[in-house]
Structures are given as structure tokens and as C-alpha cells.
Structure 1
């Protein structure tokens, strides 16, 4: 932190969409009239505050400095006709997304066309990749059905025993590899350091592949489903299988053990017997499960159920063996070993859940769906589609629902409603996922039957002639292994190729949102616009961040969020995010590092338009502490992404930080859809700054600013001060700097919760206690301003409130302001600052110190006197 004596000052404008930007406009005009605007060293903006901040910064640069802008911001100043009027421009574009309203407006239909086009292009990447992943249960099913006698022609029958032996050997080798790596990774045995990805890749992966191979082998041994009872004629088969399973499991374990400890076999005398007993139990339980599957369950079910429940049963048998191993080796293994095995068991169970769910949706759900009548099927599909739309739209208001969690007492009912809405959102998301994946499985059926492959080799061919795509069991049982592999490879290749061509940043809501913000806010001060007469957009409205070096004070810092939904820091599990700032000098954060704004993010570097767009990316699949796995998946599918994927400013992004986006969308889409964003990959996902801290205060305290004005224009009708509390909490945790309101500034019973004194004042003053961190430093002051109606506002503002009771805390989802709404917010803010400055003479008591002293010793004291008089009157 800066320890210089000269007090740095900052103006912070919060998030809140166009509502926050419009309210901030009135405050900025009031500050300009008092000559204070040009005295700020920093301008820190978040989300909607960035709209107004970008507008002011662009105007300041083009006009030649804040001193040229300040006089024109005064409400009584007339702008010459030959000059742009940035304030009037904001009124023209208060509906910045679609300036011309109406059902038949080209602006409205341009939005619809853009959203539809971009969603379709993203589906060309995402849907084939999902279809590829969902081909695995079909592949295992097609391999299992090779046990059916009619699937073998003469040349295949001759290979049957050889293929079975080869599959058994491959399964044993895979199991041995998994056990070998488990022995290597166990902290008290192998003592080799490893990551979670190492465990998944080299330990769990081979064991799962071995399990799938074993289940296929069991299907081949049994030789068919209940339509072939002759397979049960061999009464010795179960016992032979028991011996084979036990022998094979123990052999794989011994090979792994002797390979891991070739020279130290006897150094751990109880490890090998314990491992042997555990593997023997695994063989017994696996043989029992195999017998149950083939001799009991298959009498009442068919292959899809066999493939759905088979691998989970085998893996649960292995989990039972691991439990026995822990008990038999308790003297050798330490607590850390047992924790490691518990974590390994957790991943095993997680795969069981994923396999059961995905296989049921791919192999079983379509059959159940097609048994419904046409009306029920239509209703099922409509429910899924409606659930998806509700979830995608609900993602835009996810933060608002989260706010309800903090409500207590009088607002408990509202908090309960918010929780119910969140639950409904999750249920809607689940319904959509079930319907979508079931529909994708049926679409795969249609492709298989429409493009069936004709070949003489049964392994590659299929027997789909004359089978309708809706007959799901027949399609599954008559699709050859080769056909499955060809289609799976086709899905993967098609999705990969499309991902190379389709830029994930350009073909999302981000680009559409960005162009409209630039037109409405950065284009306001453009002295020579080159407007395309057809589209209404202008190429030279935008500015590069590096060009702002010459703009003078205040220095603009745009706050965004780097998402860490899969981050490793346990203390940040609620945050799921860290700050990421963009300025004229650099982009990044203090933990990862910074990169030059002149080069970061593409040719020419980061632009002001891109920065304020990312900062305002409220709706994103990953939204910091608002993130939800199911909602994230659906928002990815619907392409509801206002944020951007850019290069990591840290060491892992040394080859990517200059890129304007990922070269391929595959990795980014997968990480986004399944909540795997982090700060260790070459590309990071940036979204709304409010997903970390919504006031812009965090970065200003980090820079050591001693005079800070915060304009909190977020929707907070319950006056819970959620964003303010969040900022104070993170600053105290991360920087060890408490921010406190003295009792005289916050009188009343609810002083600690409500620094605004139960809606009786428009601002409050706090102390930034830098001295607690360093006694040599001076404390700072924070002036906190919030939209407040006290009854003495101008008549037109009071009238608007009477007609719109939610004013001045209307929903952030309302981004289409009309003229009266815009003027009411602007005028309320202007009136707020005018009332705070009443009686202050800048010429006699100039500067921020004089302004702060006046607010403290006059405005706030007058409020306290009025409150005391009211109390005495009672």
C-alpha cells in the first residue's frame, strides 16, 4: 500500500446496470458544479458504474482533460450546437440495448436474430461434444451385445475366444496399473507427491477402464439376455467364474505390488497379505455381482439395464475391498493414508453416480418417454424447454435471489420466498437437463437410422434396416461397435473443427452487449462519428485503454472478476473468484501479475469498450459466488455469456495473454459448463466485477486512498447493505484494514446494520483504519452515498415514486429506461449532493478535506439534531 503523505482520493461507482449509471450521473454533475470532480485521483467503477465511468473517461480524453469537461457537466451550461452533447446523448440511448422500442422495431429483431445466430453457432460446438460423450454407454452396450450368438458370423465366431482372452488380459493389466499407482501415491507407502489430476489420470482412470472391460467380458461369458436360457445349462459356470475373478484380481495386485517394491517386498510384511485378502474379497464380490447380473437380473431385464447397473456394482465391490484393505493394514497405514483412501473412494462413488445417471438418460429414458402418448411426450418436451428458458433467464437475476439469504426478522418471509425461487430454479434446470439429454439420445437414434452403414463385417455394421428411430431398444441392440465408433469420432471431429472457427467471445452475448454499450456511452463524446447508416454503429466510438494514459485525473480503474469455481484455495470456496482490474497501464491482479494494456487481449490491446463490457457481464455461466453447476450448464448451452475468455496474465498464460480469445472453444466451453474455471489454465474467464465486489472500494483501499467517495446505486430496497458488507468483509480479511462507522455517525438501535440510520439520511461517513495495519500511516475517510427518499425531493421525483413504489431500487433486470425514469434517478442523485453541500462555500473551505468536514460537521450533525428533537418530542 502507498505510504505517501499526500492523500490519494477516489470516486467509486457501484454496479447496478443503467440504474446505477444514471444515479451516478446526477452525483457527478453535482461534484462538477462544486469543482470537486477534477480533484479525484482515481475513478473506480464496477458493472453499471462502468457505463458512466467509461462515458466520462472517453469524454475527458477527447475534450483534453477533466477541466474542460467539468464546466459542461453543470446543469445550467448550454452546449454549442456544433459540439457533441454527451449528457443529451445518454438521454437518447437510455434504452441502450434496443433504442427503438416496439414489436416491429428493427432494433428489437436485431437482438433476436443476433442471440439466435450465436446460440446456433455455439450449439455446433457444444452439442456434438455432448453427443460424443454420451456415446460411451452405447459403446459398452454394443460391446456387451456381442455375447449374443446371432451377432457372430463365421469369421467372428472363430475370433470369439481370442477376443475374450485379449479383453481379460487388457482388463487385468489396467487393474494392475491402477493398483500400482495407488501404492505409489499412498502417502505412507509410496510417498510420491501427486496432484488430483495425476490420481484421476493414472489411478482412477485405469481402474474404471478395467471395470468397463470386465463388464463387457462378463456379458460375453453369459452369452446373451433372458431370450437365451441355454447359457444357464452349465451349472459349473458360476464356480469357474468365482475362481477366475479371485485369481485374476489377486494376480493383478501381486504384479502391481512386486513392480512397485521390487527390492523391498519384505519391508512391509502385512501390506501384501492385506492387499491379497482385499483383492480376493474384490474377486468374490465381483463374481457375486456378475452372477447376480447374469443369472438373476437379466431374467427380468435387458441389456440397457445391465450396462446401466453393471459397472456401478463392480465399482462398489471394489470400494468394499478397499474398506477391507484399510482394516487389515491399519497397523501399517497412518491417518494420512486412510484420508487418501477415503478421497479415492469419494471419486469412485462420484463416477458411480455420473455413470448411473448418464447411462439411464441415454439407454433407459428414451424408451420410457416413447411409451407415453403423443400428448404426454409433447408436455414432457414443453416442460423441459420451459425449464431451460426459466433457468437461463433466472441466471440473470441469480444475485438478487442470493441477497434474500441475508434477510432476517421482518424480512424473513421475503428471504423464504427467495429460497423457494432458488429451489425452483434448480428444479427447472434439472428438468431441462433430463429432457435435453433424452432428446439428444433420440436425435442420435435418428442419425443412426438415417445414415446406417452397410458393411459385410458385423463388428462395423449394424442391423438397422427397417427399424424406426423411435424404437429405442431395437436401435440400441442392433447398432454395431464399428458404427458407434465411427459416429463418436464424427461427433468429436465435427465439434473440434467448429470450435476452431467459432470464436467463443465474438459469438456470444458479449459482442452484442459490447457494441451497444460503446454506442450509447463511448460514442456520446465522439466529435467525428462515422456512423453506418444501416446498422447505426460507429467504428471509431471505441478507445484503447493504453490511449487513456494521457487523459489525466481521475485515473480510471475498471473492476472485473476472475472466476475460480474450481479454485484450489479452500478459504475462497464462497467467493469462487478473485479481483481482476483493467487500467490504462495494465491488466491483471496482484496475485497472478499484470500485463501491459497495450498488448493484453488482442491486437492493439484491451479497449475501454471491452473493459466496461466485461465489468458489466452480470449474466454468465460462472458468476463468482453466485455460481451454480446446473444453472451454469444451461446458461452455457443457451450461450448466455456476457463475460469473456482471455489469456491468463500469470506465468501459465505467457503464450496466450496477447490473444483475443482461445484458439479453440472446446476447453473453455467444457470448463464453463461444468464449473471448472480456475486461474491455473492458459485462459481465464472474466465476468462482472460485482461477482467479487460490487462497489469498487476494494481496489481503492488496496491502493491506500485516504479520501474515498462511494456511490452505491445497487438495488437494495430492504436496506440490507449486502454489497457494502461484502466489501468491508473482504477488505478486512485480505488487507487487515477495518472500516468503521462511529456511533455518532450511526445513532439508533440498528446502527451496526444500518449506517444510513433507518432511511433518515442520504450518506454516512466512515473511518478507513489504516493505522491498524501500520501505526505510521494516517487513517482515511469514506463517504458512502445511497439512493434515498426522504420526502423533500423535487415534485417530479416524488410523483414518479408514487407511480412506481419500487423507485429508487427498481430491479437491475430493467435495462430499458424511459425518459421519466432516467430523469428521476438523475435528479434524485443531483438533489442528494446538493443537499449534502448546502451551505458549503468551496472558495472558503476548498478541497476534499473541506467537503468532508462540511458533510460531517453540518449535514450529518443536522440529521442528528433532528433525530434528537424527534426523540424528545415523544
Structure 2
């Protein structure tokens, strides 16, 4: 267990603050909590500030403002304190994702653009496969109808007979491999046996043959359904489907239907009771997006077996587009990550300056200024910031069902238990493709990438495939620091030809449609050239475990997660992970902070005891504060609850707050911070001594 810890056991108190995820709801709540800690001197005396998603919006904003604001501009208002210019600026931008009508239209245009660029190589590849298959069958003298089974009779087509024979042989070979292994009783290592690999591969061949046998039936159904759809929607005769306009119209109709099913599946994804319906709709939508261009092209090739010159030119152009996108279009340039990062930068990356009247205001730092985490050196005393993310891995490198591991960014070191820790400057990709640099706003966006095809234990395969195809992704592929390509130092090339060749080679390996397909199939390995980072909540949503990994003796945890049923799931997961990952036992009863049937809690915070494993057997304290409403809460919060029954559990998908909503959560966080400091019970003198001896702020 000792190897899992990053810091040595401290001589005195080492305070860590954990800010949970939860989008703008969490940002407002945790802002209030930090303001309370700031006013009581606890923030100054803390060693670490671990933050996830919305909590990290505020934690990173504090770091950025501290590094870009001179001391003479404080003017009695601490950075991000109550009534500060930063708080006032954020209140004006609590709808930061889509401010005003123009912002909403721009976001809609960004979503459509991302979908088109993301889906285009898959649609074109399906068209290419359909046309080539049809032409090859025509060259062999085989019609599509010849591949259909003739009831229970032996097939008349020699090609179909051969396919059935090969499929049967593959199944028998797989069963024979299993029989040999069992009879010899010499299994070897699990998953590494040549017999296991052989059996799996021949079964994949048999599965591919089944898919091929289904294509003629599906193609016929597609043609019949398309003629019916054109007749019903546009009152067109059946022969209209055979025209170019008719085929395009039919394809668009089915694509729109698939997208509507996709939208319904995504809306149902957060409703546990509708999980089965969501999975069904997601499966139908994903299948439709792939099968519509494939079946349309296959049906056309079957009717027109001899390609014209125009057909060949068009197909060649499709091939060029697919290959060009594979080389020159980086996945991060069309995912929603850049939009998200830009919006976070505008709302939270603030610095103080004087306006034309001489007043001190908070102004956004230009997006063009690259805010690299490793370069930020706060001018004021702040804890070390730990940006909590999750790296998604679908192999047995992580425990079964977890599908993710912790990955954190700090100013000096970044990484996780699975990949080790590396110099942050090395991971920032400063010389990569424009827009792919890992700035601190980019890390903020990754830490808050709650919506992605791969989401750790929250991943559902049908939904995963659908989200990958429709570009519903905020996660980011970054270079694997342990891959040989990341360690290789490129030599300077003066030859333009060699530079161009190297650029094409690097572009081919950079994340594009191939990595989108890996997301869709859930094929994320720790050995790939790129690894996939998403929301820290996909591993642990509170940041508590990362503070324990740094051997904090006192942990203040602020939980703003959405918990309508009062089940305390996130603190439960944190307790389980602390035990399984670090051997730390947490004795905490959160029931006093969980709401009753009336939606009220007995307290906003409770204290518990943490026990580190030997050597040392160190005892530590955990104060857990939650975004809940109590009888003693400020009356304006009760009045707001009366008007907004969802308070304090607005959905995380609601990322645009009014000022009233923002103030309600900020006030709730401030009250939680006051309660947590009371339970912390460390004298200010002892905290200051810990700082002086290196156990507090660094």
C-alpha cells in the first residue's frame, strides 16, 4: 500500500479540501464554502485543494486569478471572496454555456457542426463498403437475392453454400478447441492461451457470416420501407425511390428518425426507471446511423451492378475525403471540448484590472493567452490544486466493472496509479495541433466531461456506441505518457518533404475517426498511443481519495452532487474506494446530513474518523458537508425552496443558472463551510505551525 501514496506522513496537521462535481450547481455551492474557509483562515492554512468538475471550476478560477492579479488590486476584497469583483463577474455569466440568443444559436451550430464532421467518415465508409460489395458480387455473377436463404431447403447459390459451410466449420473448430482444453486439463494462463485466441477469432468469423446473411434481407426491407415512407410523407409513387433525389430523401428520412431516437435515448439516460427503453432506443438509433448509408449503397449497387464513370469518380472522392480526415482532422477539433473549454475560460479565467473610471473590476483573460498549469505561480498563499479526472480503461488493468482509474493534474506532477506520475509540462502538449494543448481551462473541461461515450462505471454499451457516433462527447484523448511514441524525441528536419511526411505520419496516428470507433466499441487500453480522460466523477466524484493519497490528516469534503433520494451514493463510493485503493478505513455516519421525507436534514455536516494502514497507523479526521437544507438554514433558502421544489438538487444537466439560483447555492455553501470549520476544531495557532513546518500550504 505504501507505493500508492504520493507524500510522506506529516509531522503535524495537513489539511485537505475536497470540492465535489456537479456543474454550475457545484461551482456556486463550493464558491460559498471556499469563501467561508477563506474568512476563517482555513483556506490559507490548507495543503491541498482537490476538485472535481464544477468544484474545479471554482478551484481553478481561484488559481488563475491569484496568478494574474497584483496585490495592490485586492482592495480589501480577497480573490473570489464575498462581494468580490470575481463573484460579481460570475453572476453576470452564470449562463456561461449559452449566454443570450446568439450564444444559444452558436452552441446549436457547434453541435450540428461537430455531429456532421464526426459522422461523415463513418457514413462515407458505409457507402464505400456498400457500393464495393455490390460491384464485387456483380463481378462474380452473384445477385444479392442469391445470398438469401431458401427456407429450410439447401441453398441454390454456391456462394451461400460456401458461407454456411465456413460458418459451421468455425463453430465446430471453436467447440473442438474447448474440448481439447478440457480433455487435456492444461489451460495455461487465463486470457493468454493460444487456444482461447483461436476460438474467439473463429467465432468472430462465424458472426461476420451471420451479418452477411442478414444484409440481403435488411436491404430488401430498407427498399420496401423507403418506398412506403416516400409515399406516406411526400405522396410520391414507388418508382421515385429509384431516382437520386428519391434515394437521398429516403436516406435523410431514416437518418432523422435515427437522430430522434438518439435524442430520446439521451434524455432517458438519466432516468433509472426508463433504462430498458433507453437501451432499446439507443441500439435502434446507432444501428440506423450505420445501416442507412450501407443498405442504401448496397441496394443501389444491386440494381446498377455496372458502375459508371461518375460512380467511380464519386466513390474515389469519398475515399480521398475519408483518408484526408484520418490524417488532418484531429478529434478534439470537432468534439465539444473546445467549445466547453472556451466557455469556461470566458466565465472563470478572470484577472483584476482598473476600468476607464478607475474602478477595480474582474475581466476575462483572453482565450488566446495559453494558461498552462505548470506556468501558473500564485502571488497569494493558496493550497496545491489537484484537478481530478478519470482515465477510461476497458481491459483488466482496472477492477471488473470499474472501467476507470484516477488521473490527476498538479502544477508539478500529473498522472495516476496506472500510468505513474510525470512532469506536467510534458503532458501539456504545447507544440501539438492548434487547439489540442492542455491548458488549465482545458483541464477544467476534462474534469467536468460528464457526458462522454466512456464514463467509467456509468458506461452503457448501446448508449456508448450511440454517443460516439453522434459526437456527444466532452472527453479528451491525450498522449499516453508511457507509450514509446510519447518518449521519442523528434529531430529537426530541414527538408520540407520530410517535414510534410512526418506531419502526415503524426496526423495518421492522432485521434480521429479510428479513436471514435474505439470509444464506440469500448476499446480503450492502457497500452494505446492515446488514453481517454473524462470527468473525475466517473471514478470518484468528491476528491476525497486523492487527498488521502497525499496523506492529509484533516479532510474537509463539500458534496454538491445531485441526490434527490438522499442515498449518499458519492460518499459511499468514496469510502469503498479509500478502503480498496489505499487501505484507509473511514468511520463516518452520513445519515444526519441526508434529507428526510420532507426534504430537510438534521445537519449540514458530520465528522468521522479515518485510519491509515500500517506503517504508522495514522488517525485522521473527515468532515463531510453536503448541499442540503436544514431547519436552521437562512429563511431566504426556505423561501427559494418553496418556489423551486428541486432545490438543492437541480439537475447537473441544467448548466445555465439565474442569479437567484446562483445565490441560493452560494449561500448554502457558505453555511456548509461555516459548519465544517466548527467541526474541524483545529486551533489557528496549530494550523499556522503546520504551515511553517511544511505540512500546510506549499
TM (norm. structure 2) is 0.80
Structure 2 vs 1, CA of residues 65 and 482 (structure 1 numbering), >3 Å: closer, same or farther?
A: same
Structure 2 vs 1, CA of residues 133 and 352 (structure 1 numbering), >3 Å: closer, same or farther?
A: farther
The answer to whether the aligner puts 1:34 opposite 2:40 as a matched pair is yes
For residues 477-496 of structure 1, the aligned pairs below 5 Å read 478-479=305-306, 491-496=318-323
Partner of 2:443: 611
Structure 2 vs 1, CA of residues 582 and 350 (structure 1 numbering), >3 Å: closer, same or farther?
A: same
| One of 384, 389, 408 as aligned partner of 1:560 | 389
Partner of 1:311: 163
- Judge conservation of contact 1:636–1:669 (CA < 8 Å) in 2: yes
Structure 1 distance, partners of 2:564, 2:464, is 27
Structure 2 distance, partners of 1:368, 1:67, is 72
Partner of 2:290: 437
Partner of 1:99: 99
- Report the secondary structure of 2:26's partner residue: helix
The answer to whether the aligner puts 1:634 opposite 2:466 as a matched pair is yes
Structure 1 distance, partners of 2:416, 2:262, is 32
Structure 2 vs 1, CA of residues 368 and 359 (structure 1 numbering), >3 Å: closer, same or farther?
A: farther
Structure 2 vs 1, CA of residues 330 and 725 (structure 1 numbering), >3 Å: closer, same or farther?
A: closer
Q: How far apart are 1:332 and its partner, in Å?
A: 5.6
The answer to whether the aligner puts 1:56 opposite 2:62 as a matched pair is yes
Structure 1 distance, partners of 2:681, 2:291, is 71
For residues 415-426 of structure 1, the aligned pairs below 5 Å read 418=272, 420-426=273-279
For residues 670-749 of structure 1, the aligned pairs below 5 Å read 670-741=517-588
Structure 1 distance, partners of 2:475, 2:630, is 38
Q: How far apart are 1:358 and its partner, in Å?
A: 6.0
Partner of 1:759: 601
Structure 1 distance, partners of 2:62, 2:451, is 25
For residues 266-285 of structure 1, the aligned pairs below 5 Å read none
Structure 2 vs 1, CA of residues 328 and 18 (structure 1 numbering), >3 Å: closer, same or farther?
A: closer
Mark the runs of 5 or more structure 1 residues left unpaired by the alignment: 80-84, 149-218, 227-289, 402-417, 446-469, 530-535, 851-874
Structure 2 vs 1, CA of residues 747 and 46 (structure 1 numbering), >3 Å: closer, same or farther?
A: closer
Structure 2 distance, partners of 1:502, 1:350, is 31
Q: How far apart are 1:686 and its partner, in Å?
A: 1.0
Partner of 2:78: 72
- Judge conservation of contact 2:328–2:508 (CA < 8 Å) in 1: no
Q: How far apart are 1:9 and its partner, in Å?
A: 1.6
Q: How far apart are 1:132 and its partner, in Å?
A: 4.2
Structure 1 distance, partners of 2:462, 2:488, is 29
Moved more, 809-818 or 68-77: 68-77
Structure 2 vs 1, CA of residues 653 and 312 (structure 1 numbering), >3 Å: closer, same or farther?
A: farther
- Report the secondary structure of 1:617's partner residue: coil
- Judge conservation of contact 1:33–1:74 (CA < 8 Å) in 2: no
Task: State the structure with bigger RCO (CA 8 A, min sep 6), 1 or 2.
Answer: 2
Structure 1 distance, partners of 2:477, 2:680, is 48
Deviations 1:695-716 (A, max 9, x none): 1112111111111111110101
Mark the runs of 5 or more structure 2 residues left unpaired by the alignment: 235-249, 357-363, 432-436, 491-505, 691-698
Deviations 1:710-748 (A, max 9, x none): 11101011121111111221221121111112xxx6688
- Judge conservation of contact 2:251–2:296 (CA < 8 Å) in 1: no
Q: How far apart are 1:139 and its partner, in Å?
A: 6.0
Structure 2 vs 1, CA of residues 738 and 390 (structure 1 numbering), >3 Å: closer, same or farther?
A: farther
Deviations 1:244-303 (A, max 9, x none): xxxxxxxxxxxxxxxxxxxxxxxxxxxxxxxxxxxxxxxxxxxxxx9x97994546xx89
Structure 2 vs 1, CA of residues 425 and 325 (structure 1 numbering), >3 Å: closer, same or farther?
A: closer
**Equivalenced residues, count:** 635
The answer to whether the aligner puts 1:832 opposite 2:665 as a matched pair is no
- Report the secondary structure of 1:594's partner residue: strand
Structure 1 distance, partners of 2:167, 2:567, is 49
Structure 2 distance, partners of 1:435, 1:357, is 15
Structure 2 distance, partners of 1:730, 1:329, is 37
Deviations 1:474-523 (A, max 9, x none): 24xx2469999987765444212122222211221100011000000113
Structure 2 vs 1, CA of residues 58 and 595 (structure 1 numbering), >3 Å: closer, same or farther?
A: same
Structure 1 distance, partners of 2:587, 2:96, is 38
Structure 2 vs 1, CA of residues 785 and 664 (structure 1 numbering), >3 Å: closer, same or farther?
A: closer
- Report the secondary structure of 1:372's partner residue: helix
- Judge conservation of contact 1:592–1:649 (CA < 8 Å) in 2: yes
The structure with the largest alpha-carbon Rg is 1
